[in-house]
């Protein structure tokens, strides 16, 4: 790679051992992808995981004196104070959690503990070069914001936060952002939940690539685009997408394709969505719990849930995951009083993919998110996937039809 003098000094250790090691990793990535040079990033998002591998790496950089020189937000952890009265943690789980919080605090991240940073606190602009980990977040900022990031790991993103740099390759380059797959949407895709199904369907036809969606009958909401960004990367590897007339690099189909013909064409039909719905939504009878918020629910979604719960009492547990900002807003708007008065819980800064569910192992529940169902299956829970209204109604009745 062609490094400037400051970058060479970083690599040689002039700015400290931690910066040198972070730079060494980024140069190695750049060499692997034939990047010619480094470019500056303006912001970073790190997908910390409360796992020992991530913790070891963060601690190593901290001990070597590394500190973030760019704004760097982080993914959810688990809200220890909230869950300590609900769950039993092992000594090792608590140690990893506490050590993780300590390491990331020392290295200088912004502790948002949020998986949708692109809505608040870390919102990149059009063509802004960033380093975002978390596949749903990186896909959203590439596609919907029109910013530029590769699918970073938590480690490479942390290295970018420490150095302020990333190798120039992949989705930072114009030519790699053009659509290579034309997706003709022949089904009616209207509700936000339909975009969960759309994101679930497409990777079964194309595992990877840059799709452009053409023929959508309704303009998607922010929540719909969030759902699509997330679900495209549960069973597939789709770093960005275009929606004609909606996303910033697809004012027209020709713009999305950069004037070229697509390499392949696929269609999404009503039968495809029906099959996805059948696969994900199969199940009925009594349920023990409902868990929603993978990714974190928006304040609009929380408002919709509160409207459905006003004056009601729940017969099953209801867990809603969201950001600390949306939790505070829900209190100010009176939504938390309604949801908690019905027996539900709004949890900030936490995630379904954490060791907090021992009391639900082996039980049956509902979620609005296929990604959530994928994660918790590893924790011995069975989840049926339905829309948010269906999930709320099931929690009220204690059963699903």
CATH number of the domain encompassing residue 187: 3.90.190
- Specify whether 269 is located in the same domain as 290: no
pLDDT score at 340: 97
Which residues does residue 166 pair with via DSSP β-bridges, in sequence order? 39
Q: Is the pTM of this model over 0.85?
A: yes
Domain containing residue 49: 5-174
* Lowest mean pLDDT segment, chosen from 31-35, 144-148, 201-205, 362-366: 362-366
Q: Strand (E) positions, 5-124?
A: 38-40, 43-46, 71-74
pLDDT score at 375: 82
Q: Is the pLDDT of residue 54 over 80?
A: yes
Residues contacting residue 186 through CB under 8 Å, at least 6 positions apart = 215, 267, 268, 269, 270
- Specify whether 184 is located in the same domain as 296: no
- Specify whether 90 is located in the same domain as 142: yes
What value does the mean pLDDT of the chain take?
94
Encode pLDDT of 94-132 as tens digits. 888 889 999 999 999 999 999 999 999 999 999 999 999
Q: Does a cis peptide bond (omega within 30 degrees of 0) precede residue 267?
A: no
CB of 147 within 8 A of CB of 125? yes
pLDDT score at 255: 98
pLDDT score at 78: 75
Give me the phi and psi of 396, to 5 degrees please.
-65, -45
Question: Where is the domain boundary, 115, 144, 174?
Answer: 174
- Specify whether 312 is located in the same domain as 395: yes
pLDDT score at 71: 97
Structural domains counted in the chain: 3
- Specify whether 16 is located in the same domain as 79: yes
CB of 121 within 8 A of CB of 110? yes
- Specify whether 11 is located in the same domain as 151: yes
Question: Where is the domain boundary, 174, 190, 207?
Answer: 174
User: Quick count: other Cβ atoms within 10 Å of Cβ 270?
Assistant: 11
- Distance set, CA 356 to CA 128, 282, 292 (Å): 37, 25, 15
Average pLDDT (4-23) is 98
Residues contacting residue 382 through CB under 8 Å, at least 6 positions apart = 283, 363, 364, 365
Encode pLDDT of 273-319 as tens digits. 999 999 999 889 999 999 999 999 999 999 999 999 999 999 999 99
Question: Where is the domain boundary, 231, 252, 278?
Answer: 278
* Lowest mean pLDDT segment, chosen from 143-157, 181-195, 342-356: 342-356
- Specify whether 83 is located in the same domain as 29: yes
Q: Is the pLDDT of residue 160 over 90?
A: yes
CATH of the domain at 351: 3.30.499.10
Q: Is the pLDDT of residue 230 over 90?
A: yes
């Amino acid at each position: 790679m062609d490094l400037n003098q400051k970058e060479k000094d970083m690599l040689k250790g002039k700015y400290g051992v931690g910066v040198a090691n972070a730079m060494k990793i980024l140069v190695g990535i750049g060499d692997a992808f034939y990047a010619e040079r480094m470019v500056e990033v303006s912001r970073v998002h790190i997908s910390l995981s409360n796992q020992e591998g991530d913790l070891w790496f963060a601690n190593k950089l901290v001990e070597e004196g590394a500190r973030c020189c760019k704004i760097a937000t982080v993914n959810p952890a688990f809200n220890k104070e909230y869950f300590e009265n609900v769950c039993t943690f092992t000594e090792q789980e608590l140690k990893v959690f506490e050590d993780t919080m300590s390491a990331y605090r020392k290295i200088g991240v912004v502790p948002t503990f949020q998986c949708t940073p692109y809505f608040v606190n870390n919102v990149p602009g059009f063509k802004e070069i960033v380093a975002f980990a978390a596949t749903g977040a990186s896909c959203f900022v590439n596609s919907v914001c029109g910013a530029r990031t590769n699918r970073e790991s938590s480690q490479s993103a942390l290295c970018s936060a420490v150095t302020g740099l990333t190798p120039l390759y992949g989705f930072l380059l114009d030519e790699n952002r053009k659509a290579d797959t034309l997706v003709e949407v022949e089904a009616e895709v209207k509700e936000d939940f339909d975009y969960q199904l759309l994101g679930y369907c497409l990777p079964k036809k194309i595992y990877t690539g840059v799709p452009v969606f053409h023929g959508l009958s309704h303009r998607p909401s922010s929540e719909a685009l969030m759902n699509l960004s997330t679900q495209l990367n549960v069973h597939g590897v789709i770093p960005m997408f275009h929606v004609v007339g909606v996303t910033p690099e697809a004012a027209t189909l020709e713009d999305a394709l950069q004037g070229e013909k697509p390499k392949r064409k696929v269609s999404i039909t009503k039968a495809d969505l029906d099959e996805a719905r059948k696969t994900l939504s199969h199940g009925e009878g009594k349920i023990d719990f409902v868990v929603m918020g993978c990714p974190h629910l928006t304040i609009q979604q929380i408002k919709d849930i509160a409207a459905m719960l006003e004056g009601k009492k729940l017969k099953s547990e209801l867990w809603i995951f969201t950001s600390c900002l949306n939790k505070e807003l829900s209190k100010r708007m009176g939504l938390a009083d309604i949801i908690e008065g019905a027996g539900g819980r709004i949890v900030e800064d936490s995630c379904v993919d954490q060791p907090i569910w021992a009391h639900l192992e082996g039980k049956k529940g509902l979620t609005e998110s296929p990604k959530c169902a994928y994660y918790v299956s590893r924790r011995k829970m069975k989840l049926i996937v339905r829309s948010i209204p269906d999930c709320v109604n099931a929690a009220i009745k204690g059963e699903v039809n």
